[in-house]
Amino acid sequence: MKKRSLVLAATAGIWAATALADDAADWRALYEEVQAGRIQPLETILDTLTDDWLGEVIKVEAEREDGRWVYEIELLGPRGQVVEFEIDAASGEILEMEGRDIRGMRRP
C-alpha cells in the first residue's frame, strides 16, 4: 500500500508537470471535467490499471481526442517492457494498448 502511494504521488507530480507545460486552458478544462464528475480522476484510473496490470507508471498524459478526454499511461513491466495504455477518461475503458509482451504484464 505504501509503495502504491509513493507511485501515485510520483505520478501525480509527473502529471502536474506535464499539465503545466501544456496550454493552461486545456489544464483548466481537464480540472473542471474532473470536478464536475464527467471524467474520472487520474488516481482512480491508475488504481484500476495497476489492479489488473503489473508494472510501474513511467509516463502519464491527458489529451482531448475526437472530443473526449483520454489518459495515455505508460507502464514499465517486470521484464523491462514498456506498454502504453490509452484509456477513456470518462468510462475508464482501455481503448488501446501498444507495446511488447503485453500478456506478460497481465495480473493473474
Q: Kindly state the percentage of the chain with pLDDT values over 70.
A: 79
- The 3 state secondary structure assigned to the chain is CHHHHHHHHHHHHHHHHHHHHCCHHHHHHHHHHHHCCCCCCHHHHHHHHHHHECCEEEEEEEEEECCEEEEEEEEECCCCCEEEEEEECCCCCEEEEEECCCHHHECC
User: How does pLDDT run across 40-74, given as a tens digit for each residue?
Assistant: 999 999 999 999 999 999 999 999 999 999 999 99
In this predicted model, which residue has the larger pLDDT, 60 or 1?
Answer: 60
pTM higher than 0.85, yes or no? no
| pLDDT band at 25; cut points 50, 70, 90 | confident
For the chain, the domains span 2-105
pLDDT of residue 12: 56
Q: Kindly state the percentage of the chain with pLDDT values over 90.
A: 73
CATH architecture observed for domain 2-105: Roll (3.10)
